[in-house]
């Protein structure tokens, strides 16, 4: 086998073999009564914004796009979702202590107000998650109102 063929075979292996390492897209058993929308019962408008702009990363209701099947992008995406769920998982809201809920509501208000959430890298591929100033204010007031 020539050196050129060996190099091409090596490149092909580096590209193809990782495709067999699939990410876990399974959804754990979770009590729907623990979901933040079920627990806090926000207005329909707030619930719609949360579902549209937050749930993809911060809940067990992630929708995996076509590119989540292509390594190494799939690994980066899964790591991003795992980190987001570790930080705040709306699907487990009812299991949080009152102190943790209060702290998370404070963070929600701050992150949304400062434009840190949703992440710019997420918005690059998900125009539907872009929040207007009015929507940011609505989420901020909702979160702050729950803290009182």
How confident is the model over 70-78, as a mean pLDDT? 90
Q: How confident is the model at residue 17 (pLDDT cuts 50, 70, 90)?
A: low
How far is 45 from 54, CA to CA, in rounded Å? 14
Tokens of 37: 């929308």
How confident is the model over 22-46, as a mean pLDDT? 92
How far is 136 from 111, CA to CA, in rounded Å? 10
């Amino acid at each position: 086998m020539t050196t050129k063929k060996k190099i091409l075979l090596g490149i092909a292996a580096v590209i193809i073999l990782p495709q067999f390492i699939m990410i876990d897209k399974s959804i754990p058993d979770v009590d729907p009564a623990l979901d933040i929308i079920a627990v806090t019962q926000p207005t329909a408008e707030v619930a719609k914004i949360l579902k549209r702009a937050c749930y993809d990363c911060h809940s067990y209701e992630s929708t995996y796009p076509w590119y989540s099947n292509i390594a190494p992008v799939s690994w980066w995406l899964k790591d991003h979702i795992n980190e987001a769920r570790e930080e705040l998982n709306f699907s487990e809201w009812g299991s949080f202590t009152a102190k943790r809920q209060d702290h998370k509501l404070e963070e929600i208000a701050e992150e949304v107000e400062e434009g840190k959430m949703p992440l710019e890298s997420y918005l690059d591929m998900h125009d539907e998650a872009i929040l207007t100033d009015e929507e940011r204010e609505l989420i901020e007031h909702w979160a702050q109102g729950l803290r009182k």
